[in-house]
Amino acid sequence: MPDAYPRYVIPPYILRRIVDRGSLQQQRCAQNTLSHVQTLMAHVPGRPAAPHVTTPGLLERDIYDAGQTQDLPGTQVRFEGQPSNGDVAVDEAYDYLGITHDFFWKSYQRDSLDNRGLKLTGSVHYGHEYQNAFWNGQQMVFGDGDGEIFNRFTIAIDVVAHELSHGVTESEAGLIYFEQSGALNESLSDVFGSLVKQYQRQQTADKADWIIGEGLLAKGIHGKGLRSMSQPGSAYDDPILGKDPQPAHMKDFVHTQQDNGGVHINSGIPNHAFYLAASALGGFAWEKAGYAWCVITLWQKTLIFQPLPGSRFAMAKNVLAKRSLMPLLKPGGASEWCYESCRS
The set of catalytic residues is: 163, 264
Long-range (24+ apart) CB contacts under 8 A made by 27-35 are 29/129, 29/130, 29/131, 29/146, 29/149, 30/131, 30/149, 32/127, 32/128, 32/129, 32/130, 33/127, 33/130, 33/131, 33/132, 33/143
Dihedral angle computed from the Cα positions of residues 41, 45, 51 and 56, in that order, rounded to the nearest 10 degrees: 50
Of 135, 144, 180, nearest to 162 by C-alpha is: 135
Give 142: exposed, middle or buried? Use CB within 10 Å, 0-12, 13-18, 19+: buried
Q: Residue 307: CB partners within 8 Å, gap ≥ 6?
A: none
DSSP 69-95: SS-SS-EEEEETTPPP-S-HHHHHHHH
Question: Distance (Å, rounded) from C-alpha 147 to C-alpha 201?
Answer: 26
C-alpha separations of 94 from 283, 289, 308, 343 in Å = 28, 28, 38, 40
3-state helix, strand, coil in the chain (%, to 5): 45, 10, 45
3-state secondary structure of 286: coil
Q: Residue 201: CB partners within 8 Å, gap ≥ 6?
A: 208
Q: Residue 66: CB partners within 8 Å, gap ≥ 6?
A: 72, 73, 74, 123, 124, 125, 126, 127, 141
Of 26, 13, 31, nearest to 246 by C-alpha is: 13
